[in-house]
Amino acid sequence: MYDNARKKGGSKLVTMRKLKNPELNRLSPEAYKNTDKLPLVVILDNIRSCNNIGSVFRTSDALLIEKVILCGITATPPNAEIHKTALDAEKTVAWEYFEKTEDAVLQLQQNGYKVYALEQVENSVLLPGFYPIVGDKLAIILGNEVKGVQQSVVNLCNGSIEIPQFGTKHSFNVSVSAGIVLWDVTQKMRLLSLKS
């Protein structure tokens, strides 16, 4: 059926071959550690699922994110459950642990970062309308799977980003949210750096 649809549309059938891993020209772990990262930090506020934590490490590795900060009940490497989804990204991406998320936010702000909660709050900015400013260092907080980002943490943030949603559910899974937001924000940061 797919081939027939292509023939009716008049376009040629394109032959595609999956690339093998060596053809992807990925960085070695050593080269990765010496590569410049984007000035973007991910903060995990009391994430309970090690699968979500591992996914955030893997996404952060793929997008050359500076660091992941793990807070509260969020598990830390080395951890077999984190490793299942991180696939060694927990060894390449820099990370730090804070018992209190508020302390992580305040330290980042003291170091010149603008900190944004990924949360549904009054006056949030929808992701398509969020544009970083050239030279800004950013941090994005992802909250607990059930409770989201703590209100005490939201109160400290420079703003909040919200992913538009149109169905009956009020949120995406944490790892899905991370993938959507981090890809979008890193692409915007890269475009800005090319223009400056």
Q: What is the mean pLDDT of residues 5-34?
A: 83
Q: Residue 1: its pLDDT value, please?
A: 47
Q: Residue 12: its pLDDT value, please?
A: 77
What number of other Cβ atoms are within 10 A of residue 162's Cβ?
Answer: 18
Would the pLDDT of 91 be above 80?
yes
12: left (phi over 0), alpha (psi -120 to 50) or beta: beta
pLDDT tier at 10, thresholds 50, 70, 90 = low
Q: Residue 192: its pLDDT value, please?
A: 86
Q: Residue 2: its pLDDT value, please?
A: 52
Average pLDDT over all residues of the chain: 93
Higher-confidence position of 5 and 139: 139
Q: What is the mean pLDDT of residues 91-115?
A: 98
Q: Which of 81, 28, 36, 35 is nearest to 57 (CA)?
A: 81
Helix or strand (DSSP H, E) at 9: helix 2-9
Is the peptide bond between 78 and the residue preceding it cis, with omega within 30 degrees of 0?
yes
Domain boundaries, the chain: 30-195
Would the pLDDT of 128 be above 60?
yes
CATH of 30-195, one of 3.40.50.720, 3.40.1280.10, 2.60.120.20, 3.10.105.10: 3.40.1280.10
* Ordered alpha helix ranges (H), 10-142: 29-33, 50-62, 80-86, 89-92, 101-110
**Model confidence pLDDT, tens digit, residues 151-187:** 999 999 999 999 999 999 989 999 999 999 999 999 9
**Model confidence pLDDT, tens digit, residues 20-61:** 999 999 999 999 999 999 999 999 999 999 999 999 999 999
**Model confidence pLDDT, tens digit, residues 106-121:** 999 999 999 999 999 9
Would the pLDDT of 100 be above 50?
yes
> Tokens 């927990």 map to which residue?
90
Amino acid identity, residue 79?
N
